[in-house]
Amino acid sequence: IVGAGPAGLSCAFFLAKKGYKPTVFEKNARPGGMLVYGIPSYKLEKDVVDAEIEVLRQMGVDIRCGVEVGRDVTLDELRAQGYKAFYLSIGCQGGRMAGIPGEDAEGVTTAVEFLHRVSEDETTPVRGRAVVIGGGNVAIDCLEQENQMPASPEEIAEARQEGAVIHCGWGPSRILQENGKVTGVEFKRCVSVTDANGRFAPVYDENDTMTVP
C-alpha cells in the first residue's frame, strides 16, 4: 500500500481483517496523512490517531515511514521482492493559489502547506497580522455571503470566538509586497458567486476595493 493516509490505512485494515499482512509505505515521518498533517491537534488529538494506527500494527500491518515509492524504491523492485498487488493511495494534499499578482512574496503560503509545517513542529513561530483567503472549514474568510459559506456554522462560530474577523463578499485582487515580503492584500467586492446555472463564476466590482495590511 503506497500512502498511510485515511485511504491507505482503511485498505490495510480491511486486508488485515481478511488475513493478509500488508505493507504500507509512507514518505512522511508519521503515518496518518491529512489526519496528522492537515487537522490541528485541537480538532483531532494526535494520540487518538496513533492509537488507531497501533491497532493496525497489532493486526499485522507493517507500516514503513520515510520511504517514498518511486524515489527510494520502485514498484519493479517491490515486485522482485515478492509483492503481488499494489494499492496507490497517495492522497490529494495539494494547496491552490488564487492566481493573483504578488503570490510569490515571502509570507504567502497555502493552507495545506502551513498546516503540514505546523503539524510537524507545533513550535513553528507565527507572528504578526495574518490574512486568510477562502471560505471553507480550513480557511474561513470568504468570497461568499455568510449564508453561502461552505464552512460549517460550528467552525465559523469557533473562529469568531478565537478573535478572527470575517469579511464576507470580498475576493483577493492582489498581494502587496515590499522588498519581496508580503505587506498586505487588496480585495475587490464580489457581487455574485455563481452564474445562472449555479456554476462557480464570481463577478466583481473592480472599483469597490479595500486593503488589509
Per-residue b/e over 107-142, b at no fewer than 16 CB within 10 Å? ebebbbebbbeebeeeeeeeeeeeebbbbebbbbbb
pLDDT above 70 covers a percentage of the chain that reads: 97
Mean pLDDT, residues 39-46: 84
Q: pLDDT per residue over 69-91, tens digit each?
A: 999 999 999 999 999 999 999 98
Q: pLDDT per residue over 165-197, tens digit each?
A: 888 899 999 999 999 999 999 999 999 988 999
Which residue would you say has higher pLDDT here, 59 or 125?
A: 59
Q: Tell me the three state secondary structure of residue 159.
A: helix
Q: pLDDT per residue over 92-122, tens digit each?
A: 777 888 899 999 999 999 988 998 888 888 7
Residue 103 CB burial class (10 angstroms; 0-12, 13-18, ≥19): middle
pLDDT band at 44 (very low <50, low <70, confident <90, very high): confident
Phi, psi (5° rounding) for residue 11? -60, -45
Gap between the Cα atoms of 206 and 65, Å rounded: 49
Poorest-pLDDT segment among 46-50, 52-56, 61-65, 147-151: 147-151
pLDDT band at 213 (very low <50, low <70, confident <90, very high): very high
pLDDT band at 15 (very low <50, low <70, confident <90, very high): very high
- Would you state the pLDDT for residue 123? 86
Q: pLDDT per residue over 139-162, tens digit each?
A: 655 667 778 778 888 888 988 998
> H or E stretch including 16?
helix 6-17
**pTM (2 d.p.):** 0.72
